[in-house]
């Protein structure tokens, strides 16, 4: 996120449920959400039934401020109950003041502790709280069975490397295994254009390989400095953010796994 993209870095999704839109992740700013909904109304002019926030990273929910002005109910993981409004959000520090204008920190007011079922226009929507640390301390899956469609937030990245800074490697893999066990036609992640069920493959492979490689070197007694230099995983070197993020991911993985291995 910077003043070139003004926070437009993640997926904000509108699902036509029949007589209303279900919004999955409201985006990074009031302005972004307002412009997105304006664009969607040109496709089909429908009201919004609910906004669902998949997790607590601010590029996915700061658009709540706009939807609050429309009186839309906003749903999120129980993890949002622990969130405290910041003096300045990460987004606010990095994008232009004009792009951030009118944006306020508006958390969900309906919380998913385990599972929640919504019926929208006679279609069932299953909200599944992962209930352990995966990409974050509280990730939601939004499953629409009749469409064989699942929205998984930042459990899935494609076209760029995943960031593991707030997550847990095994918890992440366990969550993705849960997704893979369901008969799905569409898996829509928080970043990237791939929306069929293959969208999960790169993130799953990267997280699994990272965990195996780092754990093996810890067992061999290698230091964190050596492991950061040794675990190159060059299969991913042409993926966006490899140069800026991979070494950081290796260091985080080492600190995460060293206690488990011991």
Q: Where are the domains of the chain?
A: 13-199
Look up residue 118 and give its DSSP letter: E
Contact between residue 143 and residue 112 where contact means Cβ atoms under 8 Å apart: no
Cα dihedral sign for 44, 39, 104, 76?
positive
Q: How confident is the model at residue 13 (pLDDT cuts 50, 70, 90)?
A: very high
Q: Which of 198, 194, 187, 193 is nearest to 147 (CA)?
A: 187
Token pair of 162, please? 């995943």
Q: How confident is the model over 24-29, as a mean pLDDT?
A: 98
Threshold 0.85, pTM exceeds:
yes
- φ, ψ at 201 (rounded to 5°): -65, -45
The CATH code that applies to domain 13-199 is 3.60.15.10
- The predicted-structure confidence for 158-172, as pLDDT tens digits, reads as follows 999 999 999 999 999
Closest among 110, 95, 109, 108 to 31, alpha carbons compared: 95
188 vs 151: CA distance, rounded Å: 5
């Amino acid at each position: 996120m910077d003043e070139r993209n003004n926070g437009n870095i993640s997926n904000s999704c509108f699902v036509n449920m029949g007589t209303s839109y279900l919004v999955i992740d409201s985006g990074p700013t009031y302005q972004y959400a307002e412009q997105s909904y304006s664009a969607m109304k040109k496709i089909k002019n429908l009201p919004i039934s609910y906004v669902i926030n998949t997790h607590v990273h601010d590029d996915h929910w700061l658009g709540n401020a706009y939807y609050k002005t429309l009186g839309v109910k906003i749903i999120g993981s129980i993890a949002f109950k622990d969130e405290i409004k910041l003096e300045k959000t990460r987004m606010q520090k990095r994008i232009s003041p004009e792009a951030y204008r009118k944006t306020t920190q508006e958390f969900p007011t309906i919380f998913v502790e385990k599972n929640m079922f919504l019926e929208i226009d006679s279609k069932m929507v299953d909200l599944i709280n992962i209930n352990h640390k995966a990409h974050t301390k509280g990730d939601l899956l939004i499953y629409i069975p009749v469409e064989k469609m699942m929205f998984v937030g930042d459990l899935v990245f494609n076209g760029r490397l995943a960031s593991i800074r707030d997550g847990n490697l095994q918890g992440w893999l366990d969550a993705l295994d849960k997704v893979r066990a369901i008969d799905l036609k569409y898996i829509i992640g928080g970043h990237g254009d791939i929306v069929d069920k293959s969208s999960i493959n790169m993130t799953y492979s990267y997280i699994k390989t990272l965990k195996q490689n780092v754990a093996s070197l810890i067992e061999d007694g290698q230091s964190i400095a050596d492991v950061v230099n040794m675990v190159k995983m060059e299969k991913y070197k042409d993926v966006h953010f490899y140069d800026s993020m991979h070494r950081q991911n290796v260091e985080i993985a080492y600190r995460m796994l060293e206690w488990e291995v011991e």
